[in-house]
Amino acid sequence: MSKLSEEDVKLFYKLMHALLFYANKKFNVVKNISSKEELFHVDINETAPLRKNIYKNPEIFDEFVNANPENFSSEELSIVSSWKKFKKGELMLAKHTKEHSIFFDEKEGKAYGVLGITDSFEDMFDGHPPIMINITFLPFKGKITYEGIFMPYNIHFGRGIKSSLKINLGEAIQKYGVITSLECSC
């Protein structure tokens, strides 16, 4: 299935919740929060501005790693540090495969193979691409996942757009392959 393993889901959320809590201490976006657990239970609409601050201020990743407030292992810190290579934008969820869901970046002309976290994108969207999504990709253990939230647009695409997407996606895959790691300089 095209999602993280249960073990990786636990690790991802352990790291992401710690980073969010650390960033909230710095940016003070979500008020009156004294623990990661409290922050985890806050409505996602309240944490969205905190997440935006993180990606506007990517030095927070290095600050977190240097402070290591949770006494994470070097492997765990390496994962958080890799998140500096995030990719953010409006991308087209183009199709699903057994290994991942493929997103197309029209501006770059590149295709990305992305894993869901707890659910595959195919399950989340009932298997009906194309879908335009505002999303932030993160590297995770040599793969690509997303940062936990995304915003799909309620746009329906006609036959012409779908046909054009299929052609452009095919050209991107032929030229670059499906990019499955943000660690490379593809």
Note the pLDDT tens digit of each residue in 2-48: 999 999 999 999 999 999 999 999 999 999 999 998 998 899 888 99
Tokens describing residue 75 = 């492997």
- Contacts made by residues 123-129, CB under 8 angstroms, sequence distance 24+: 125/93, 125/152, 127/96, 129/92, 129/93, 129/94, 129/95, 129/96, 129/101
First to last CA, the chain: 25
DSSP 129: -
Alpha-carbon radius of gyration of the chain: 17
The answer to whether the CB of 24 falls within 8 A of the CB of 39 is yes
pTM attached to this predicted model: 0.92
How confident is the model over 74-106, as pLDDT tens digits?
Answer: 999 999 999 999 999 999 999 999 999 999 999
d(CA 56, CA 34): 24
Query: What are the pLDDT digits (tens) for 94-152?
Result: 999 999 999 999 999 999 999 999 999 999 987 678 999 999 999 999 999 999 889 99
Select from 55, 23, 52, 62 the least CA-distant residue to 39. 23
* φ/ψ bin of 184: left (φ > 0), alpha (ψ from -120 to 50), beta (otherwise): beta
Would the pLDDT of 186 be above 70? no
The one-letter amino acid code at 100 reads H
Residue 97, exposed/middle/buried by CB under 10 A (0-12, 13-18, 19+)?
exposed
* Domain parsing of the chain, residue ranges: 6-84, 85-179
Q: What kind of fold does domain 85-179 have according to CATH?
A: OB fold (Dihydrolipoamide Acetyltransferase, E2P) (2.40.50)
> Sign of torsion, CA 50 90 107 184?
positive
Q: Which residue type sits at 41?
A: H
pLDDT tier at 184 (50, 70, 90 boundaries)? low
pLDDT at 71 over 80: yes
